[in-house]
Structures are given as C-alpha cells and as structure tokens.
Amino acid sequence: MGGDARTSDLALARGCLSGDPRALKEFEDTVLSRVPQFLARLQATPALCDDVAQQLREELLLATEAQPAGLARYSGRGDLKAWVRVVAIRTALRLRKPERPDPPAREDTLFGKGDPELDYLKLRYRSACEEAFRGALSTLTSREKLYLRLHYVEGLSLERMASLYRVHRATIARRLADHREKLHAETRARLQAVVPVRDSEFESLLGLVRSQFAFSLRGELGGDTPA
C-alpha cells in the first residue's frame, strides 16, 4: 500500500510540474487546502495560512530562470502531504519573522538551504532518535555517566575535573572523548537498527542527537548523584 501511495504521489507531482490542469486541481484540493491543518500547532492566523498557501503555489509549482519548480525536489521517499507540511511550516516561520520584535535571523530561501525531505525524516524519526539516545545512555557505567554529567551538565572545566580526580587535564579530555564516542556509537547502532534510510540521510538524523547532546544529557543525567 505504501508503494502504491508513493507512486500516486509521484504521478501527481509530475502532473503538476507538466502543467496538467487536473493534477494542479487535485494538488490544490487535496494538499494545499490542508495548509491550515499543517500549521495548526503554530496557531497560524487565517491570513498567514493564506499567505503560506500562496507562497507554496509560487515556490512549488512555478519555475524561474534561476531554478526549477520546488516540487521537482520531491522524489517520493515520503508521503507528499507530509513533505509539503514540512515546507509549509518552514514557510510560515519565515513569513512570521518580520512580526517579531527580536532582531531578524539570517534569511534563508525556501529551498536555498536545507532539504525538505531531510526535514521530513527528522520530524518522522525524532522519537526514534530520542529513544536510541536514552537506550544508549543506559549502557554507560555510572562512572562514565558521571564524567559526562560533570562536564556537559554541571559545566565543570577540564582543569577543574582534573583537579577533582587528581589526574592530568589530557587524561580527562581523553576519557570524556572516549565516553562520548561510546555513547555516539551505541546511539548510532540502535538508531540504524530501526530507521530504514540511506547513509547520507542517516548522518543527518544523527545530527538531531549531536545538536541536542548537552540538552539531552541534562534531561537524562540531571538527577544522578555522584558515586
């Protein structure tokens, strides 16, 4: 069933790219009409939903001299609606930036940086990444957990830890590197066992773990007590 759905999604995307009126109407009725649902968690206003839908029509369906229509980047690896949902959320966040009083972050074009399909994979497998990290963490010894907690959660410097354990700073640095690599390797093994993606995509998913490393440690190790 999944393969048939992907085939249908690819056919719809190709029909839209070729300008087929029936495909364009189906895309409008079954995908773009769901923009308010895609943005529900953002509490987007009707006006913002309309702006996002219009932006998607332009970015996904219209080619320019500089680049092809954005829908050409959809390859069928995931559900088309889920793929468009990711693009819609990114677009909504970008359009809402001018409304914020904070200094604007650097402006990224819709397809200039990042990959909507990789963003979709990150959203889909976020819980698997978190579960793999927690499982990997449970394989560490109490001493290994303590080292990671002291440095990444409590913020102790290498020098302070070296003084605490009465060893050279380089020894602490080496131990931390070993413990972190053990955690990373175990997380990778657990995640790879449940996530069916290519190696290049897998590295991107591991970025979810790496980017949240200290934050995750704080949540998982914050309650530990030194042995």
Query: How far, CA to CA in Å, does 178 sit from each of 144, 145, 166, 172?
Result: 9, 12, 19, 10
pLDDT at position 106 is 37
* Structural contact between residues 156 and 164, judged by C-beta atoms closer than 8 angstroms: yes
In whole angstroms, give the CA distance from residue 124 to residue 122: 5
Question: Count of domains in the chain?
Answer: 2
The residue among 96, 111, 126 that closes a domain is 111
Q: Is the pLDDT of residue 7 over 90?
A: no
Q: Between these two residues, 70 and 107, which has the higher pLDDT value? A: 70
Query: How far, CA to CA in Å, does 102 sit from each of 90, 98, 99, 105?
Result: 18, 9, 9, 9
From the list 127, 160, 138, 130, the residue with the least C-alpha distance to 224 is 138
pLDDT in tens, 82-108: 899 888 988 888 887 554 444 444 333
Within a domain: 132: yes
> Against a cut of 0.85, is the pTM above it?
no
Give me the domain span that covers residue 92.
2-111
87 and 14 part of one domain = yes
105 and 57 part of one domain = yes
* Structural contact between residues 148 and 177, judged by C-beta atoms closer than 8 angstroms: no
Q: Is the pLDDT of residue 30 over 90?
A: yes
133 and 97 part of one domain = no
The residue among 63, 91, 111 that closes a domain is 111
pLDDT in tens, 200-222: 666 667 666 665 555 556 555 54
127 and 211 part of one domain = yes
Mean pLDDT score of the chain: 78
In whole angstroms, give the CA distance from residue 184 to residue 186: 6
CATH number of the domain encompassing residue 59: 1.10.1740
The residue among 80, 111, 142 that closes a domain is 111
Within a domain: 95: yes
